Amino acid sequence: MVHNLNNSNSIFNFSNKHEYVLKVNSGDVVEIETKDCFSDLVKSEEDFMYNMEWDKVNPATGPIYIEGARKGDVLKVTIKKINIKEKAVIATGKDIGVLGDKMNGQHCKVVDIKNDKIIFDNNLEIPVKKMIGVIGVAPNEEEINTGTPGSHGGNMDNTMVEEGATIYFPIFKDGAYFALGDVHAVMADGEIGGAGAEIGAFVTVQLEVINELKLNNPLLENNEFISTIASEKSIDKAVYTAVHDMLNIVKERVNLEIKDISMLFSITSNTEICQVVDPLKTARFVVPKWVLEKYNFRLL
């Protein structure tokens, strides 16, 4: 069954206390309308400098209750389509992002999107590469704001969360209470300026409850890779967690000793930065599927 959820249903924290705004069955498809990360309030540079409401940053549309989802299960989210709107906002400034110490004031561009390209200025057009910044479920804790990533997902700003990807979340509350937002027309790994090309969108996802997989943190797969995702206080710790999560997944499914898995990871697989500008930093560990398939690896 296909459902629709408009962007009037916004939350600013992932919480196990929210009332759900839509209830679906496992396997249902939902088209979710999102606002941009500035709640669609920025139409010009003046809006960003003088009228921005900072308590309305990173809205996520939801939450959605999935029938049959139980604490300890896993929510499988297949991203079927991301349709973006026509204008995006790119922003940075004092105390925003890695270069925030080098600027005074707040700055933004409102850019048009034409023929799948972002018109950055008269010299440069950048190809669109759509991805979802905020996506996740209700956490184990009472609430986590939508600007912060964690084991529940949240503001991971992972460029691999795109059309065609499937992302798995550990479920901490019955019903899962899924939500997403903060879509980008394009963003580079790290998001060092503090924002991607922020844009409203219509995102179509399929939501399924999985019982035969156990996770501590999100896991992503696409046609080429499987990737663990971790958010911690430092990038070093995030990398450590992501690699150890992958080790646990692989060693349960292939007939290899840890020493061999370590060597295999070291010569075939990549640690990559998702973002370094949120309260917790996010990294991913990416393993090519063709490598794992040589050992008859199956995730499910």
Name 244's Cβ contacts closer than 8 Å, sequence gap at least 6: none
pLDDT at residue 50, as a whole number: 76
pLDDT at 20 over 90: yes
One-letter amino acid at 275 equals Q
Question: What is the architecture, at CATH level 2, of domain 219-293?
Answer: Roll (3.10)
pLDDT at residue 47, as a whole number: 85
End-to-end CA distance of the chain: 24
3-state secondary structure of 275: strand
| Fold entry, domain 2-210 | Jelly Rolls (2.60.120)
The conformational region for residue 274 under phi > 0 = left, psi -120 to 50 = alpha, else beta, is alpha
* Token pair 């499988």: residue: 76
Cβ 89 vs Cβ 30: under 8 Å = no
In angstroms, the Cα distances linking 100 to 12, 157, 161, 202 are: 24, 19, 26, 31
Integer Cα distance of 292 and 296 in angstroms: 7
Give pLDDT tens digits for 175-197: 999 999 999 999 999 999 999 99
Confidence of residue 52 (pLDDT cuts 50, 70, 90): confident
Integer Cα distance of 77 and 168 in angstroms: 6
Confidence of residue 158 (pLDDT cuts 50, 70, 90): very high
- Mean pLDDT of all residues in 67-74: 98
Confidence of residue 45 (pLDDT cuts 50, 70, 90): confident
Confidence of residue 46 (pLDDT cuts 50, 70, 90): confident
pLDDT at 51 over 80: no
Q: Where are the domains of the chain?
A: 2-210, 219-293
Cβ 199 vs Cβ 108: under 8 Å = no
